[in-house]
Amino acid sequence: FAADDAVIARGPAVLAREAFSAMGLDFPLTRKGELTVRTPVDGSQIGTMTPETAASTKAAIENAVSAFQQWRAVPAPIRGELIRRFGNLCREHKEALSCLVTLDCGKTLDEARGEVQEVIDICDFAVGLSRQLHGLSIATERPNHRMAETWHPLGVFAQISAFNFPVAVWSWGTMIALTCGNAAIWKPSEKSLLSASACAGLLARACADFPQAPKHLHQILVGGGDVGAQLAADPRVALISATGSTKMGRSVSSTVAARLGRSILELGGNNAAIITPSANRDLVLRGVTFSAAGTSGQRCTSMRRLIVHESVHDELVAQLKRAFGQLRVGNPLEPGVHAGPLIDLPAMDMFNAALDQARAEGGVVHGGQRLLAEEYPDAAYLAPALVEMPSQTPIVHTETFGPILYVMRYRDIEEAIAMNNAVPQGLSSAIFTDNMREAELFTSSLGSDCGIANVNIGTSGAEIGGAFGGEKETGGGRASGSDTWKAYMRRATNTINYSTDLPLAQGVRFDA
């Protein structure tokens, strides 16, 4: 399967069918479902799907509970073998999966390939992890005793994912959760069901060929926020990982907290870069343009704020205006395109409303006009917008999911760091500097308050090895990488007495 020009010319609906058939999977879309599946590439309808009911969601949770009871008994390195097989299927079908990612969310094919590569990389990570789920041995105060910490699977894991990373975010959580011995349920975004269905189909194939994998080890539930809310409310869901807007996170978090459950929240970002006088200008131009305009500003880590030293502000704004103007916005299936469309027309309305508010708050907008409206009247292609702001006004404090970069001035580094930290979100941040003191200050406890703090690279494009997530309204969760596997397991402290005495801790005496 290759998404060559001839295939592209046949249109999204044919391309979607061909991708499924190349993977040997049944096409999951029908004509009679209540949920319409569209592609942002041209706004056309690809088909429909039938959403879950409350009863079918409940049954899926019950099935997951029984799958968990079997899967937890399978040794972790054997569980890892299942993940290895799934990773290999993704390698084999990388091109077809990437094509579906592009059709789902409108990111360029090159970025879609990067996203599928992330799924493959997480599988490799999880396979290694399957032999590294280690606890501690702890010194005990009692003679002839041993104290240890052991880690056990939690139960049913549910993943709610957003449209903008339709498969990577799922793999961050689910590959780790399955390796840790949990059964998994996936509620993908209702806006990106093609690549989700394909990934679930490939994982189902890997499970079917793996005798130790119980039935219903992984289930996909099609539907909207109501299905996600039901998962959040059910006490049999031991851990729920929710990626999406802060509004959704508030709802999931309060529901899960009310039943004292566990959640991992990966919510909105409002990511800034500080540009200091010593910054390498070439790095700045490349790093800022990719982070702000790549994926049409629809990454949680997209750069939305630029805090520029007053001595370099005007020159940099002129250079960025030129760089933004040279970007090729167009059909994301075509080679050489830098950015595709927004997810849908309502997202374009929000983009325009944000620019109107920025103007009303004293901003000067460059770019931001609609593109390709005649060719694609039902799709939202936009020129990225650079907006000079007098200060961080209310609109600058909000996340607008589109290519808007607000530019502000600063005088000294402490002021710049305070501006970086002044917004409610705390996902990603960056500083561009050749000054060691500024770089170290920014990454110190007095610096950026975000989960990601970079030096001389943009805010987006994280690697899977590091823990990913953010603070404040971003939710505080870490989904994958580093030692985040601990969030997917429960910890037990075991004290084992191998003597014939019964000494009590803290020297307490209880002589009967």
Where on the chain is the footprint of ligand NAD (CB under 6 A)?
160-165, 169, 187, 189-190, 224-225, 228-229, 232, 243-245, 248, 251-252, 266-269, 300, 399, 401, 427, 474
Specify the residue, 350 or 360, whose C-beta has the smaller distance to ligand NAD: 350
Task: Evaluate whether 126 touches 80 at the Cβ level (below 8 Å).
Answer: yes
The letter for the amino acid at 1 is: F
Is 207 in the active site?
A: no
Minimum separation from the CB atom of position 252 to ligand NAD (A): 5
| Neighbouring C-alpha atoms within 13 Å toward the C-beta of 285 | 17
374 given a catalytic annotation: no
CB 296, CB 106: distance < 8 Å: yes
Q: CA 179 to CA 173: how far, in whole Å?
A: 10
CA distance 29 to 350: 29
Cβ closest to ligand NAD, residue 351 vs residue 401: 401
Number of C-beta neighbours around residue 54 at 10 A: 11
Q: Which of 242, 243, 222 is nearest to 232 (CA)?
A: 242
Smallest distance, ligand NAD to C-beta of residue 67, A = 22
Give the shortest CB-31-to-ligand NAD separation in angstroms.
23
Strands 137-138 and 370-371, by their bridges, are: unpaired
Q: What is the 3-state secondary structure (H, E, C) of 396-407?
A: HHCCCCCCEEEE
Residue closer to ligand NAD by CB (options 93, 478) is 478
Distance of CA 103 to the CA centre of its chain: 18
Q: Which is nearer to ligand NAD, 164 or 182 (CB)?
A: 164
Residue 375 makes CB contacts below 8 A (sequence gap 6+) with none
- Which lies closer to ligand NAD via its Cβ, residue 130 or residue 459? 459
Residue 25 in contact with residue 33, Cβ under 8 Å?
no
Q: Considering beta carbons, is residue 325 or 346 the nearer one to ligand NAD?
A: 346
Shortest approach of ligand NAD to residue 462 CB, angstroms?
9
In DSSP terms, which residues pair with 428 in a beta bridge? 452
CB 23 within 8 A of CB 115: no
Nearer to ligand NAD, 46 or 229 (CB): 229
CB of 452 to ligand NAD, least distance (A): 10
State the DSSP code for 310. T
End-to-end CA distance of the chain: 77
Task: Give me the catalytic one of 52, 81, 115, 266.
Answer: 266
Q: Specify whether the CB–CB gap between 76 and 162 falls below 8 A.
A: no
Residue nearest ligand NAD, CB atom distance: 228
> Cβ of residue 429: shortest distance to ligand NAD, in angstroms?
13
Rounded to 10°, the helix 436-443/413-420 angle is: 30
- Among candidate residues 118, 300, 438, 450, the one labeled active-site is 300
Question: Phi/psi class of residue 79: alpha, beta or left (left: φ > 0; alpha: ψ in -120 to 50)?
Answer: alpha
Distance CA 341, CA 130 (A): 39
Least distance CB 477 / ligand NAD (angstroms): 8
Q: So which residues are the catalytic ones?
A: 266, 300
